[in-house]
Amino acid sequence: ERQRLGKLRRLPAVTTDGELVELQANLEIPAELPLIAQAGAQGIGLLRSEFLFMNREDLPDEDDQFAAYAPIVAAMNGDPITIRVLDWGGEKDMQALAAGIESQHAGPNPALGLRGIRMLLKRPELLEEQFAAILRVAAQAPEGAVRVMLPMVTVPEEVKAAREIYERVAKRVRRRGEKLPEKLPELGAMIETPGAALAADAIALEADFFAIGTNDLAMYTLAVDRGEADVAHLYDPLHPAVLRLMQFATEAALRLRMPVSVCGEMAGNPRLVPLLLGLGIRCLSMNASAIPRVKQAVRALDIGDCARFARRVMEQSDPARIRELVDGFATGVT
């Protein structure tokens, strides 16, 4: 089995009818880099930058951040890397920031409070340093290889406001004499709240790409905390509400020919690949360890079958029935 999966590494993630699917890795800490190469990932679809801010009592400055990204960009050898700016808040506790922010802003419900892009727009100096570091590191990769992504977006204005800061930072860094890419790296939005999913057509006008974060999307849609054992049984990414939101957001992107990926846990589950491909998704980012099995699933699928299957699933309104359909289809494939 191990050997078979090892051989898979060199084979493309292509369906039986010749459709290429991009399989990328999520990176949480730099120590995972060797795993990414081993797994045969085509780049990093979600670089969670929170590690930069963890286990320290002061904030990393622009140079610290640049120094942390540079070896990752070098190791990826020109493969695409999507760097997500800091997603602080919710369950993500960070000492260095907590001192400055939590005391002022700890609300009754952190998951619904100053999280992700909301916090960064409230503290634009944090966003500016991150953008500056990312822009500098992007200059060390081939044009277009590095992309920048905003977490926890709920309204188009957040992307617009972030882009204004982004362009201003680029000008300033360039004036400072730093080498920057000719064309600014693409700036995308995570679709991980029901509000963002249902306003995806409006957000698409401001963003260069979408990444659907199914972990938070399921949590916020079903009002189930990801870390709460008592309600864990209600956490179900196959709930029709979650799937309908994913479908709406995906179709908004596809209409505009805008890149869209899925980067939550769902993307790493081979049994869910037929449904995701059927919905029109062609880029999945997951834990590196999941890539071989997902690739195996992709290579056994036909896009037409997946599309028909997804249509059947999307006609259902009962979560249990959806699970039955998904399990039934998967038994034939994985």
Applying CB under 6 A, the residues found at the interface with ligand PEP are 46, 48, 87, 192, 213-216, 263-264
- Rounded to whole angstroms, the Cα distance separating 283 from 263 reads 9
**Complex with Mg ion: residue 192 or 265, whichever CB lies closer:** 192
Which of ligand PEP, Mg ion, none does residue 48 bind (CB under 5 to 8 Å by kind)?
ligand PEP
Q: Give me the numbers of helices (H) and strands (E) for the chain, helices first please.
A: 16, 8
Pair of tokens at residue 127: 């966003």
Asked if 45 touches Mg ion (CB under 5 A), the answer is no
The 3-state DSSP class for residue 20 equals strand
Q: Judge contact between 27 and 44, C-beta under 8 A.
A: yes
Q: Judge contact between 43 and 79, C-beta under 8 A.
A: yes
HSE on the CB side for 138, CA within 13 Å? Answer: 26
Each residue 148-187 as x (binds Mg ion by CB under 5 A) or -, in order, gives ----------------------------------------
Alpha helices by DSSP H, 86-142? 95-97, 103-105, 117-122, 124-138
According to the annotation, is 216 in a ligand binding site?
A: yes
Q: Is 263 noted as a catalytic residue in this protein?
A: yes
* Cβ at position 240, least distance to ligand PEP in Å: 18
DSSP 100: I
* Cβ at position 285, least distance to ligand PEP in Å: 8
Catalytic residue among 21, 246, 263, 283: 263
According to the annotation, is 215 in a ligand binding site?
A: yes
According to the annotation, is 48 in a ligand binding site?
A: yes
According to the annotation, is 19 in a ligand binding site?
A: no
> At a CB cut-off of 8 Å and minimum separation 6, what does 331 contact?
none
Strands (E), 117-276: 146-150, 187-191, 210-212, 260-262
**Which one of 9-17, 34-42, 216-224, 280-288 is the stretch in contact with Mg ion (CB under 5 A)?**
216-224
Which of ligand PEP, Mg ion, none does residue 263 bind (CB under 5 to 8 Å by kind)?
ligand PEP
| Ramachandran area for residue 184 (φ above 0: left; ψ -120 to 50: alpha; else beta) | beta
**Complex with Mg ion: residue 220 or 309, whichever CB lies closer:** 220
* Cβ at position 167, least distance to Mg ion in Å: 25
Question: Which residue in 151, 158, 12, 156 sits closest to 85, CA to CA?
Answer: 151
Determine which residue in the list 213, 237, 240, 259 makes contact with Mg ion, applying CB under 5 A. Answer: 213
Q: Judge contact between 204 and 252, C-beta under 8 A.
A: yes
Determine which residue in the list 216, 225, 236, 265 makes contact with Mg ion, applying CB under 5 A. Answer: 216
- Rounded to whole angstroms, the Cα distance separating 188 from 211 reads 8
* Cβ at position 28, least distance to ligand PEP in Å: 8
According to the annotation, is 115 in a ligand binding site?
A: no
Which of Mg ion, ligand PEP, none does residue 193 bind (CB under 5 to 8 Å by kind)?
none
Give kind and range of the element (H or E) at residue 24: strand 22-27
* Cβ at position 216, least distance to Mg ion in Å: 4
Asked if 192 touches Mg ion (CB under 5 A), the answer is yes
CB atoms within 10 A of CB 129: 20
Active site amino acids = 263
Binding site for Mg ion (CB under 5 A): 192, 213, 216
Annotated binding-site ranges: 48, 84, 192, 215-216, 226
Annotated binding site for Mg(2+): 192, 216
Annotated binding site for phosphoenolpyruvate: 48, 84, 215-216, 226
